[in-house]
A and B are shown apart, each in its own frame.
Chain A
Amino acid sequence: MLSWNGRRGGLRIERKHMHRERAGGGLQSLLQYKDALWLAIWLAGLAALGVWDVLFLNRPALTRLAAASVNTALVASGVVVCSSLMGWVSALALHFFDHGRHRWAYLLTTFLLSLIRSVPQIVGILLGYVVLTLLIRGEVLRQQASQLVVMSLIISVFVFLEVTDLIRERIRHYRKLDFFDAMLCSGVREGRIINLEILWKNSRAHLLHKAIHIFGATVFLLCSVDFIISVGLSTDVSLSNFPPTLGGLLATMDSKQDILAISTVSTDPLALPDLFFEHLQGISTAFTIVFTLLCMYRISSHFVARRRLE
């Protein structure tokens, strides 16, 4: 019995040891996979900020900040989905027009894409927002959800070309290899080779990297456009017209005062603690934007390094 107990005890210790090893391994792999580490840092940072805001930020401001953060994340996710779809469709269309001897269709599509490419993203999105304003004023878009969807679509139009370029580059790369022709000879449809073999089986990491990059870029573009609109076009087109986002929230008078307070710290260092208690709305908004941009960049670059995508 004793030996049996001992064995059980021994086993338990062994299990505990294994558990410890596994936990150590998890931490080690997190440290090794720096992209995962930065993802954890991003989530932990936002969670810590959330807890701090719950404790010290007044209720209306907290509600506004939460709504703005959620809307920004929703639009950014929407852009990732829309631009992936648009990029996939346009890349395949270009590929089949090019190889299917539809020269005019190919030239027309290329011209349209070049036209979009040649307009700076921010200007294009701003013009898109003019259309969005007209739709909101005309009460075509009444629901906030539909407004967010249109915002995602507008930004996607000026972002999806990155996905198109990536997919075309991947197809071009694999077309040069023997397996492409071999599969064609084996009777596998070209669409299946491209979608399943090239994109799904061999390009997921590249597409995921692009998705991370687009998420970060969208946060930047969305916040910038909303800030510009709220500051520059503040008569008719204002926060009251659009769903709140982090850029719009940053452009409010309260937030701007909070950000302005940062410069007072250089002359009066004792005012530093006030930033984290009295100027929390603006500081939290700015921190969320900047921290997200930093973390997305870090996740993206470490992901590239780990998967050797360069």
Chain B
Amino acid sequence: MKRKLLEHLFSVVVVGAVFGFVIVGVHQQQAEEAGVHDPAVAEALGLRFLDFGDPLDRALYKESLDAFIPQQRERHEALLEAILDARRQQFTDELYKTGAEQRGITGEKLQRVLGMYVQFILVYVVVMAISVYAAETFGTLRFVRSKQGTSSSLAQMMIVLTNDTIPAPQRYLRALGLLIAACAKGAGLMILFSPAYVIAYSFKTRFDTDSVVFMIVLGIVSNGVLVHYVNKFYTFLVAESRKGYVETALVKNLNHSYSTRDPDGIYRGDIFRIRKRFPKHVFQHIYLNAHHQYLPALKEHAAFVVSGLVIIEMALNIQGHLNYEMLKYILYKQYDMVLVIVFAIYLLVKGTEVFVDVIVEREARRLENRA
């Protein structure tokens, strides 16, 4: 474990050094670009007693130059043009119009970004916690339903339609109900697979889509995150249920009924508990092993969630949030601040990886009865 932590630390230090190096480089380049290149122009613009916006001052400046160096009149004209161009650029170029904000990395900016970063971390933690719970709960529910032999609504509809024992009007009504259920499930799936911005624009007139709560909801249900990880957990459960120890457990007479009505079966409330327990049931062991396999996948899950939240904040232009701020910095070409934010996000992902490694190690020690 120590080795892993050292690896993470080394990685953070090296990546931090690379980012630091690039940030300093970008910062210097921006400082050079922000300055006026021609020293003569810079010198003229530095003359506080002259206002180049005033034609009288302009004429005075040019005539003074012509009087001192009369053989370079064309050069003086070109210089004056360059001065006016530089002034125009300062007034009109959007890079100079980022409010009253100073360019480069400043304490004030870092403080503001830090506040947004803390908010981003809080949202991320909530989304991760809920989506991990949802993935395990719905994965378990799907597994239990598949063990109960529940088929899809469309398949059930076909069975009902071909069942002659049910009287005709009742049969068609039931089939219609199942068809509606299938359509509702289809619509639900479409929502779960929708990118966050599609859902947000679809509900924009109904809800305050800029709120943190809406962002959390979107982070969980959109971009296919939930479906993807429910399916992942379900796959782990299926793979575990095929292993030999399950057969052995059955021989040893552990409960293996998946009916929710059977006293020896699965209690529906247990599926929805945060700490899931299925005492004396073979599924307890299937679940624990699947859960153990799912833990390392949390790293991938975390990266997915971070990407999703970045997309939500940027695509919905949620002002005052970290990634919208990053988008603004990209727009105004303040790449040093962009790199600071990217590094902060990197630290968050890395922090999650360390956390997952610690949990996996602790769990492995517990399962393998190591001290």
Contact = CB atoms under 8 A, between A and B. Distances in A.
Interface of A: 111, 114-115, 118-123, 126-127, 130, 220, 223-224, 227-228, 231-233, 235, 250, 256, 259-260, 262-264, 266, 286, 289-291, 293-294, 297, 301, 304, 310
A120 B193 contact: no
Contact of B327 (A120, A233, A289): A233
Nearest to B7: A114
Contacts of B189: 294
Contacts of A227: 195, 197, 315
A264 B223 CA distance: 23
A123 B189 CA distance: 27
B212 interface: no
A290 B235 contact: no
Interface stretch (B162-170, B243-251, B341-349): B341-349
B195 A223 contact: yes
B206 interface: yes
Given A115-B15, A127-B338, 8 more contacts: A121-B307, A220-B224, A231-B197, A232-B315, A266-B206, A290-B190, A297-B224, A310-B238
Given A235-B331, A259-B202, A289-B198, A228 B227 contact: no
A134 B230 CA distance: 41
Contacts of B85: none
Nearest to A257: B201
Nearest to B327: A232
B123 interface: no
Residue of B203, B314, B346 most packed against chain A (CB within 10 A): B314
Contacts of B231: 301
A115 B18 contact: yes
B131 to A, nearest CB: 16
A224 B326 CA distance: 16
A290 B193 contact: yes
A262 B203 CA distance: 8
B310 interface: yes
B188 to A, nearest CB: 11
Interface of B: 11, 14-15, 18, 94, 189-190, 193-195, 197-198, 201-206, 223-224, 227-228, 231, 235, 238-239, 303, 306-307, 310-311, 314-315, 317, 324, 326-327, 330-331, 338, 342, 345-346, 349-350
Given A118-B346, A120-B349, A232-B331, A297 B201 contact: no
A94 B302 CA distance: 26
A183 to B, nearest CB: 29
A118 B239 CA distance: 30
Contact of B205 (A126, A235, A260, A294): A260
B205 A310 contact: no
A289 B197 CA distance: 12
B198 A293 contact: no
A123 B198 CA distance: 20
A121 B231 CA distance: 22
A310 B239 contact: yes
Residue of A130, A256, A286 most packed against chain B (CB within 10 A): A286
Nearest to B194: A290
Contact of A235 (B94, B227, B239, B306): B94
B198 A259 contact: yes
Contact of B310 (A123, A220, A260, A301): A123
Contacts of A224: 195, 197, 311, 315
A120 B202 contact: no
Given A259-B201, A301-B231, A118 B349 contact: yes
A297 B225 CA distance: 11
A235 B15 CA distance: 33
A260 B201 contact: yes
Contacts of A130: 330
A12 B48 CA distance: 103
B14 A120 contact: no
Contact of B314 (A220, A228, A235): A228
Contacts of A115: 15, 18
Contacts of A114: 11, 15
Given A224-B315, A233-B331, A123 B205 contact: no
A130 B195 CA distance: 23
B10 to A, nearest CB: 10
30 contacts: A114-B11, A118-B11, A118-B346, A118-B350, A120-B306, A123-B307, A123-B310, A123-B342, A126-B330, A224-B197, A227-B195, A227-B197, A228-B314, A228-B315, A228-B327, A231-B197, A235-B94, A259-B201, A260-B201, A260-B202, A260-B205, A263-B203, A263-B206, A264-B205, A289-B194, A290-B190, A291-B190, A294-B190, A294-B193, A297-B224
A120 B310 contact: yes
Contacts of A290: 190, 193-195, 198
Contacts of B315: 224, 227-228, 231-232
A118 to B, nearest CB: 5
Contacts of A266: 206
Nearest to B333: A130
B205 A118 contact: no
A122 B202 contact: no
B221 to A, nearest CB: 13
Residue of A121, A126, A231, A233 most packed against chain B (CB within 10 A): A126
Contacts of B317: 231-232
B342 to A, nearest CB: 6
Contacts of A286: 194, 198
